């Protein structure tokens, strides 16, 4: 188990990027570290790998602090965004290299044998004698992954490894990464700023904001039960529809629609609604078309096809809102539709972002 405790990092220029970050990762787990560009993901990976020291806080592997353990003794392999391969070495030599250095180095024959194994699992046999510049981006990144896996590390850190690849290749390699690390039972931290990648790949997601982990949960939980408004906005594409609504007695009201609070599930309230105004969040899949109990009617202003689903745009409270429906739906631009709300799946946040339902 990896435990990161109250980690702070202040750079020489006084910029504090990690502000008491806590995070636990179980053995064999694939965790995605997700957050906007600049939130400190690479900083955290570098500290975990021992390439950078934290300002304060602790990192424990199996209960023991590793802050004084040099990088080479942490049993960690790191894959960077920009393939970090040796340009003068062939694929085979690049994959063998980590086995030929350090105090546990293998003989040339042993290293070659092990390198061949990992070249096979990463499907690089055809390129074994090529140098990196003769390979595509995806192939180069596969070599970097093979050179990490060949070390059979306990922990694998991947820093946005698929950023430079096209969408199809990205999907394919990330599936392969998941299969490999799960079959080898390697504890893996995969850094990404892409919420879809995190949702599809991980056992758990840690979402980082402003130097803290704001939520650590399974992909399903983080999507369905966002801890606060920031998480709700970050996860999901198209993103959650948000409306400012005013509390009036037992209702939340806005220009174009109202919500009767008595229709909500009492046990799902996390707090009383003390304030005057709230954000109501409704994901595009939780608007219902032509329901038994319509809440409003509207005109479709745009229809966007995305494979089996179709996104309908309409105006609500003077803002563009979106519904996801099946592509089978015959609704076209200009149609008037009546819309309901799946009250079991709406969220209510205070204006400062705290979730209250």
Ligand X SMILES: Nc1ncnc2c1ncn2[C@@H]1O[C@H](COP(=O)(O)OP(=O)(O)OP(=O)(O)O)[C@@H](O)[C@H]1O
- Footprint of ligand X (CB under 6 A): 11, 13, 15, 17, 35, 37-43, 193
Is 8 exposed, middle or buried (CB count within 10 Å of its CB: 0-12, 13-18, 19+)?
A: middle
Residue 259 exposure: Cα atoms within 13 Å on the Cβ side: 23
Say whether the peptide bond before residue 238 is cis (omega within 30 degrees of 0).
Answer: yes
Q: Find the residue with minimal CB distance to Mg ion.
A: 42
Q: Which of residues 132 and 161 has its CB atom nearest to ligand X in the complex?
A: 161
Least spacing, CB of residue 214 vs Mg ion, in Å: 18
Least spacing, CB of residue 159 vs ligand X, in Å: 7
- Indicate which of ligand X, Mg ion, none lies near residue 161 (CB less than 5 to 8 Å, by partner kind): none
- Indicate which of Mg ion, ligand X, none lies near residue 292 (CB less than 5 to 8 Å, by partner kind): none
Q: Which of residues 8 and 100 has its CB atom nearest to ligand X in the complex?
A: 8
Phi-psi sector, 277: left (phi>0), alpha (psi -120 to 50), beta: beta
3-state SS, residue 312: strand
Least spacing, CB of residue 171 vs ligand X, in Å: 20
Q: How far apart are CA 74 and CA 172, in angstroms?
A: 30
Q: Which of residues 42 and 195 has its CB atom nearest to Mg ion in the complex?
A: 42
- Number of Cβ within 10 Å of residue 184's Cβ equals 14
Least spacing, CB of residue 142 vs ligand X, in Å: 21
Q: Which of residues 35 and 284 has its CB atom nearest to ligand X in the complex?
A: 35
Q: What does the DSSP assignment read for 276-289?
A: SEEEEEE-GGGEEE
Q: Which of residues 135 and 191 has its CB atom nearest to ligand X in the complex?
A: 191
Least spacing, CB of residue 42 vs Mg ion, in Å: 3
Whole-Å CA distances, 36 to 40, 46, 188, 194, 271: 9, 17, 20, 8, 29
Least spacing, CB of residue 301 vs ligand X, in Å: 34
Q: Which of residues 93 and 160 has its CB atom nearest to ligand X in the complex?
A: 160
| Long-range own/partner contacts, residues 15-18 (CB < 8 A, 24 or more apart) | 16/211, 17/43, 17/211, 18/43, 18/44, 18/47, 18/54, 18/57, 18/211
Q: Which of residues 42 and 140 has its CB atom nearest to Mg ion in the complex?
A: 42
- Indicate which of Mg ion, ligand X, none lies near residue 193 (CB less than 5 to 8 Å, by partner kind): ligand X
Tell me which residues touch Mg ion (CB under 5 A).
42
Q: How far apart are CA 216 and CA 222, in angstroms?
A: 8
Whole-Å CA distances, 143 to 179, 317, 333: 17, 52, 48
3-state SS, residue 46: helix
Least spacing, CB of residue 33 vs Mg ion, in Å: 10
């Amino acid at each position: 188990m990896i435990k990161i405790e109250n980690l702070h990092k202040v750079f020489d220029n006084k910029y504090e990027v990690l502000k008491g970050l806590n995070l636990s990762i179980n053995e064999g787990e694939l965790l995605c570290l997700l957050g906007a560009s600049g939130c400190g993901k690479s900083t955290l990976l570098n500290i975990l790998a021992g390439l950078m020291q934290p300002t304060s806080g602790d990192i424990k592997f199996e209960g023991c602090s590793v802050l004084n353990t040099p990088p080479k003794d942490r049993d960690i392999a790191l894959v960077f965004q920009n393939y970090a391969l040796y340009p003068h070495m062939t694929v085979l030599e690049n994959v063998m290299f980590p086995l030929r250095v350090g105090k546990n180095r293998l003989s040339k024959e042993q290293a070659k044998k092990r390198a061949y194994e990992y070249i096979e699992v990463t499907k690089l046999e055809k390129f074994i004698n090529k140098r990196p510049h003769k390979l595509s981006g995806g192939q180069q990144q596969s070599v970097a992954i093979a050179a990490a896996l060949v070390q059979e590390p306990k922990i694998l850190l991947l820093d946005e490894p698929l950023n430079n690849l096209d969408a199809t290749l990205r999907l394919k390699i990330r599936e392969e990464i998941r299969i490999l690390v799960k079959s080898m039972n390697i504890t893996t931290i995969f850094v990404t700023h892409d919420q879809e990648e995190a949702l599809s790949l991980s056992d758990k997601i840690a979402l980082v904001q402003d130097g803290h982990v704001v939520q650590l949960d399974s992909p399903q939980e983080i999507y369905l039960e966002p801890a606060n408004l920031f998480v709700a906005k970050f996860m999901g594409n198209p993103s959650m529809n948000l409306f400012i609504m005013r509390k009036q007695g037992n209702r939340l009201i806005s220009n174009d629609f109202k919500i009767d609070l008595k229709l909500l599930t009492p046990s799902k309230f996390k707090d009383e609604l003390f304030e005057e105004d709230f954000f109501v969040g409704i994901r595009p899949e939780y608007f219902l078309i032509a329901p038994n109990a319509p809440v409003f009617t509207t005109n479709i202003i745009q229809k966007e096809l995305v494979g089996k689903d179709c996104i309908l745009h309409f105006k609500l409270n003077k803002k563009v809102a979106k519904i996801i429906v099946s592509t089978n739906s015959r609704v076209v631009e200009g149609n008037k539709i009546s819309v309901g709300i799946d009250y079991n799946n709406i969220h209510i946040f205070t204006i400062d972002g705290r979730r209250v339902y």
